Amino acid sequence: MSKVQVRQLAEFSVPALSIGVAAGLVAGGLAAFAGQPTGWAVLTGLALGVPIAFFSTGYAVLVALGKVPTGVFAPAAVYWLVGFPLALMAHAAVTEWVIVGSPGLPESPLEFLAFRALLSMGFAIGFLWMHEQLGRHWWPRIREHNEYAYRCVEQYKEMAVSLEERKAAAGRGRPRPRKRRAPA
Amino acid sequence: MDVTSSTSDLPDGPSPVTEERVWRAGRLEPMPIRKLPKAPPSIHILGPTVFLVALGVGMGESYMWPRLVLVFGPDIRWLFLVGVTLQAFVLLEMARYAMATGESIFFGAARIFKPMMWFFYVAAILIYIWPGHLSAGAAAFEEISGIPWQVSACVALVGVGVLFSMLSVIYSFLEKVLGFLIGFLVVGTAIIASIVGSWDDLASTISGMFAFGFLPDKALSDVWFPIIVGSIAFAGPSGMQQMWYTLQLRDSGAAMGSHIPKVRGLRTAGEAESMPSRGYMFDTEDPAEMEKWKGWRRWVTFDALLLFWGITMLVTVSFTVLAMSAARENPNVGALIEGGDREAALKAMSDAFASAGSPILGTAFFGFIALIGLNATLGLFDSFSRGQADMTYYFVPGAKKIGMSRLYAGFLWGVITFGILILLFGPADGPASILDILAFLSTFAMGAYCVVLLLVNNKLLPKPIRPGIGRNLIIGFGAVFYLGMLFYSLVRFGVVVG
């Protein structure tokens, strides 16, 4: 993969990356609001934000490369079934590092992962929704020089054209005179 | 498709009368045959079910069911599974008529027997003019912000009215707002539940959903049985919310709904296209049309299963996990709940969340309750106004001259004005003496709409698109389930629902 492609993929992944940043800001902000020391709040924010940003970017790259269709739920659900538990595992390890002084896995790590995997569907729905909303504003801006964004916008255009056809086919207004057909 | 008749497409103004094929359904005006549009090419994450989710994820999911779990244990959740699954089938069958005709289920009810529609017209007014959801949400907001709940509730009411009046097309905006709020709610509860809860909580919550038949003696008492009946009714969108969904489905342009103009805000009401005087039907004997119909059924099934069933289940599982971990930290929650004090119980659950994780979790809990109140208010006000305007437009003489958008605005501002008066001078949930009647009407409406669905889908639709025997049996079971439990509660305990 050339440098240009890597740069374009990074640019395409900005909406996904920003979801990770937002997750980190929320986690850190909540900790600060709850009265935790600033250093701890920043660390908590990074511990959750960085892994989620990492997995979010991974998902965007799969979309850019055409491995995952845009805006379809099932692949996102499968992706976060793995990504969400791992991101929270990283968060838990960093939390323990801060409290105990050395990083460590939570008790019963398999149960830990299974529990988060079952709750990942909710995160997947929210992620997909945000990714679509942010992407629709970002990708048209960069499509002139970004082949991945161009392809993605074209997919949305196809969808929009199809919706327009749907409206046109509906043929609102007064009915055109039609030839009487024999009853079926 | 074997009927041919004369019809005009628009109700007012001179129009050429043309011979065309129509579908006769009931005694009202026949439906002209039109082309069915193609189903969306890909499965999109957001459809009109977002309204049902916004309406459905309410106090039932965040408070009533976690409360029952705290009192009876997680095995009581099998009743929730039955309730939500039943509602998912109701949703699919409501969608069948609305998508095939572009008409609301109210119109369908009128085609069968007009007084049935008037029952829903009156019941909607009696049940949904009370600003109970908003006052609960505003009370939770007061816990966070300190702003008196009457102030925030009144400001929210006026804000909603101005917003809906200023919008060009109401549906598009509302879909985006509710989509965002629901997205935030779902992601937030998933993250908090995954940080605070444990595998054991989740395992017992999920295994409890399959403990079919579990009903301890205490659940059959005069105190708890009516509450359980009410909670089953509130599993998912209760009362008439499923019926209103057919209007949102129409406004989203789903299937034959694309032939019907959208409802506009008051500011652009003059630009609205004329509403046709009835819906349309497609040619069910054309294989190409039937193929498109299958595409639409797949689309709505995805919407029902993922967005409605999945999200509703996920939010309640998250809240139940949170409640169970809260109960471990603060065993007094159960006693407060058994005392029947809703506000004290909510406060205790919030405190328990705070002690289980960090103080912010207690605040987050109230934040979610406030958000649920706002969601429900936005969705309910829109749906109520839409439903009443629809029935008024088509069935009150002279109402067509006013126009659908102005009727919508009239009902919207009517319910807002009444809400403000009640918030300032009366009980927000409604006078205690009529609460029982409202609860009865709400549950009765659910049993009644199952009967309406059976009649409408089997008598008014062409044979190739009627529901199969399995679905009819499920909807029939719904009618027996809701009405049976309601009347059992009434006869056995003299109380309708709690």
- Most A CBs within 10 A among B187, B277, B281, hence the mutation to make, goes to B187
Token code pair at residue B270: 């003059």
Q: What percent of chain B has pLDDT over 70?
A: 72
Inspect the interface and report whether the beta carbons of B193 and A119 lie closer than 8 Å: yes
At B4, the pLDDT band (50, 70, 90 cuts) reads very low
Are B38 and A165 inside 8 Å of each other by CB? yes
Question: What's the mean pLDDT in B457-470?
Answer: 93
Structural contact between residues B440 and B482, judged by C-beta atoms closer than 8 angstroms: no
Q: Is residue B434 over pLDDT 90?
A: no
Q: Which residue of B has its CA nearest to A123?
A: B187
The structure's pTM equals 0.76
Helix or strand run (H / E) with residue B6: strand B4-7
Max avg pLDDT among A41-45, A103-107, A167-171, B150-154: B150-154
In the prediction, which pLDDT does A179 show?
A: 40
Q: Taking the CA atoms of chain A, what radius of gyration do you get in angstroms?
A: 22
Give the Cα separation of B31 and B279 in Å (integer).
6
- Whether residue A171 and residue B34 make contact (CB cut-off 8 A), yes or no, is yes
d(CA B475, CA B86): 8
ipTM score: 0.72
Residue contact A71–B44, C-beta within 8 A: yes
Q: Which residues from B are below 8 Å from A36, CB to CB?
A: 358
Q: How confident is the model at residue A176 (pLDDT cuts 50, 70, 90)?
A: very low
CB contact under 8 A, A170 and B191: no
B361-382 per-position pLDDT tens digit: 667 777 777 777 777 777 788 8
Which secondary structure element, helix H or strand E, spans residue B18, and what is its range? strand B18-23
**CA of B479 vs chain A CAs: smallest distance (Å):** 31
| pLDDT of B6 strictly over 60 | no
Tokens of B219: 């659940």
Higher model confidence: residue B302 or residue A36? B302
Model confidence pLDDT, tens digit, residues A44-68: 788 888 998 999 999 999 999 988 8
Residue given tokens 């639709």 in the structure block: B461
The conformational region for residue B255 under phi > 0 = left, psi -120 to 50 = alpha, else beta, is left
Question: Is B399 within 8 Å of B407 (Cβ atoms)?
Answer: yes
Q: Between the CA of residue B120 and those of B117, B279, B396, B444, B446, what are the distances in Å?
A: 5, 20, 14, 10, 10
Please say if the pLDDT value at position B190 is more than 70: yes
What pLDDT does residue B274 have? Answer: 61
Give B31-73 pLDDT, tens digit per residue: 888 888 887 754 454 455 555 566 556 666 666 777 788 788 8
